[in-house]
Structure 1
Amino acid sequence: MPAPTPETTASGLATGTRTVLVASDLDRTLIYSSGALALGMPDPQAPRLLCVEVHEAKPLSYLTERAAEELRALAAETVFVPTTTRTRKQYQRIRLPGTAPAYAICANGGHILVDGVSDPDWQAEVRGRLAEACAPLAEIRAYLTETTDPSWVRKHRVAEDLFAYLVIERDLLPEGWLDRFTAWADERGWTVSLQGRKVYAVPRPLTKSAAMREVARRVGATLTLAAGDSLLDADLLLAADLAWRPGHGELADTELTAPHLAALAERGVAAGEEIIRRFRAAAHEHRHTA
């Protein structure tokens, strides 16, 4: 029988070839707000920056022009999948260089976007997993309402009806509250993490890694690469074949390690540039290895 003809994925690449999938966190991994750039050099030596996000008519997120050039090439060479805790609305404010990604992962894995549209089959699968394994979001929200105080909580937020988070004054966080909430949520199938000024409560099955594996299956990926800086990226980095974390962020603070995970020295926007270079080098080596 003749060999089957490789199918073409939404990315335009053929399955059955050496397909590299790159699943990368965005904020403080590839793109940076002005406060997170970490430009430690003299002003005349600072890199030129490209704004990739505008919010309420103000520039918000940047990468270096060199990183932009590398990202354009990366998007042409791999299945590049932005992988973010942002909601779909927040993600859609971003305009990355290069061809628009065929796939994106939003809401910490709750949505897989295919050409900008959330995949209904994945939505249904996620909702089913959460219903089976976790207490409902309403129970989490009720606990947060009952046990917090406006003196230290600035905002209560819900993302895509999937998870909740608080924006807090970290210095005013009551002693012991986070530990109590973490233990209570754990009994109900939820994980809790403190990241900067935000306390996240996320259902345990809601992960970036699960969504990455699904996209990898769809495109027939033979190598998965990942990068991220925060605690919510840990499962993604550990699930990939190769991964990188920048020299800043919660994963650097907690010194997350694994045999396939490289800890970079670069911090701020320079780290984003280096991560993209590492992605391209790993993808090139994979494609040219017999």
Structure 2
Amino acid sequence: MLSLIIRRLFAAIPVVLIVATVVFLLLRMAPGDPARVIAGDMASEETIAQIRSNLALDQPLIKQYALAMGKMLQGDLGTSIISQQPVSKLISARLGPTAALASTAMLLTILLAIPIGVLSAWWHRRWFDRVATASTILAFSVPAFVVGYVLILVFSVQLNWLPVQGYTPLADGVGPFLYRLVLPSLTLATVFVALITRITRASMLDILGEDFVRTARAKGVPEKYVLFRHALRNAAAPIVTVIGVAITTLISGVVVTETIFNIPGVGSLIVDAVLARDYPVVQGTILFFSFIYVFVNLAIDLIYVLLDPRIRY
């Protein structure tokens, strides 16, 4: 197990370096000048040139790249051009709302998708299966921002049940915390519920046709044990795979959802940094998300080994 972890970690290093390089080059090719943004519209060319020199933006591209990579290898994500604060500090300050939204949405996804997928496979071609299949196709086809605005229109504007925007920390109480997260979590979870439900249904249909399932039923094993103890356990590998994919895809959904509901998380930090041409913040946040991506993939690999020990050999 230890050797597997070490191999996966070493394999992740080139991925992180490639991501950092691509992000660096894309930001430098983007239109706009951070020095002009900092100096303001009324600043002189001398002031702008001085700011550009202080930020090393007047250096050759290869030197800028070497400076950025050197800081990254030392664990330094840089300093924000606009706020002059360390990027790591900005990320840690915004990490709470993002983690709360992502974890709540993923928990909601798993609690809804797996039971619906299992029951849909059990009641194959019955009314529940047909309704679930049609609903998942619809949910998977609608973009997240459309779902968010529809939920706001129905539950906030028309029914006045839930707030439109904002975030309340958990320290202020569980009730207000969940009250503000209901609509964002539903928005973010919709597409992933559809995806995981379809995969769970397909995997369960394959397993329910196996001989050991028919044998268990012939022995009189209760149906709930057949479904959840025998069938679901053997169908877990593809379900775990798609949950891992959903967690990594959640990153892009977080950016959109936080923007819609005005949640002060890492996603909104990226949007603000892109608009302000704050290179270090954009690069640091994307690297942070790439680290999460690598960690999730490593965790999925380890879960594979636990589900099927043959994979380690």
TM-score normalised by structure 2 residue count: 0.26
Larger radius of gyration: 2
- The higher relative CO (CA closer than 8 Å, separation ≥ 6) is in 2
Q: TM-score, normalised by structure 1?
A: 0.28
